[in-house]
Amino acid sequence: MNLPPMRDTAPVVPNKVSHATPKTGARLLDPGMNLTLRPMQYPVFFEMYRNAIKNTWTVEEVDFSTDVGDLRSKMTAADRHLIQRLVAFFATGDSIVANNLVLNLYKHVNAPEARMYLSRQLYEEALHVQFYLTLLDTYVPDPAERARAFAAIDTIPSIRKKAEFCFKWMDSIGELERLETREQRRKFLLNLICFAACIEGLFFFAAFAYVYFLRSRGLLHGLAAGTNWVFRDESAHMAFAFEVVKTVRREEPGLFDAEMEREVATMLEEAVACELQFAEDILGLGVAGLSVHEMRQYLEFVADQRLVMLDLPKRYGAKNPFGFMDLQDVQELANFFERRVSAYQVGVAGEVTFDAAF
* DSSP character at residue 202: I
Contact 59, 130 (CB under 8 A): yes
Number of C-alpha atoms within 13 angstroms, CB side, residue 50? 16
**Furthest C-alpha separation in the chain:** 64
* DSSP result, 286-355: --TT--HHHHHHHHHHHHHHHHHHTT---SS-PPP--GGGGGTTSPP---TTTS--TT------S---TT
Q: For residues 332 and 341, what is the distance between their CA atoms, to the nearest angstrom?
A: 7
344 is catalytic: no
Of 246, 228, 243, nearest to 46 by C-alpha is: 243
Residue type, 5: P
Contact 278, 295 (CB under 8 A): no
Question: What is the chain's length?
Answer: 358
Task: Determine the straight-line distance between the first and last CA of the chain, rounded to whole angstroms.
Answer: 42
Q: For residues 355 and 358, what is the distance between their CA atoms, to the nearest angstrom?
A: 10
Out of 42, 49, 132, 298, which one is annotated catalytic?
132
Spell out the residues 6+ positions from residue 161 whose beta carbon is closer than 8 angstroms to its own: 274, 277, 278
Of 310, 90, 113, nearest to 192 by C-alpha is: 310
Spell out the residues 6+ positions from residue 190 whose beta carbon is closer than 8 angstroms to its own: 169, 172, 260, 263, 264, 267
Hey, how many other C-beta atoms are within 10 angstroms of the C-beta on 135?
A: 24
The catalytic residues are 132
